Amino acid sequence: MTIPWVCNIIWLEPEAEEALVTITDGQHTVTCFAQPFCGTVGDKVHEPLRTFECGQIARTVNRSSFRQPSVRLGWTQEFVGIVVNKIPPILRVGEIPIGLDVALSGDLQIGDSVTVGADRIDYIK
């Protein structure tokens, strides 16, 4: 199993320790908002990323992926992940775990593939 790592950092506001942090598992890549952030490229990511204002959760047959929404507003992200934990709700995109800020509906089971839209994905170190 590969532990995801930080592969790129764009500092938005060093004084505020605010950055755009790109995380990868070697196959999937996602760019997150991080504040406060004080890491470096190569840091391992052990904790799940966090969605902010998550919505539009639906079961899908698509494979795990991150994708740009057709109309991108602000930090909006869409991704397809596998349910690996129901309470707290955690999905996995490849080897990248993402915790949701809303509960999963009761009919979703571990192993289900779901598509999720979120206003932002946060990396909280």
Partner 1 sequence: MAPRASATYGDYNVVRTVHAAEEVKDVLNVVDDVAAVTSGGTKLLTSNGLRRFAGNKAVEHFEKHGESVMKALGRTDYNLANYLDDANHVIKTGTWVPELNAYTKLIGGLGSPKAAFVGVDRAVGNITTFHVKSVQELSRSAPSLGWTP
Residues that bind partner 1 (CB under 8 A): 12-13, 15-16, 18, 33, 35-36, 50, 52-54, 73-75, 101-102, 119-120, 122, 124
Q: Do the Cβ atoms of 46 and 39 come closer than 8 Å?
A: no
**CA–CA separation, 20 vs 7, rounded Å?**
11
Nearest to 49 by CA among 37, 58, 61: 37
Task: Provide the total of helices (H) and of strands (E) in the chain, helices listed first.
Answer: 0, 9
Residues sharing a CB contact under 8 Å with residue 106, sequence separation 6 or more, in sequence order: none
Closest distance to partner 1 from the beta carbon of 9 (Å): 16
Query: What is the smallest separation between the CB atom of 116 and partner 1, expressed in angstroms?
Result: 14
We find the least distance from the C-beta atom of residue 97 to partner 1, in angstroms, to be 15
Nearer to partner 1, 5 or 52 (CB): 52
Comparison of 33 and 79: residue with beta carbon closer to partner 1: 33
Whichever of 102 and 110 has its CB closer to partner 1, that residue is 102
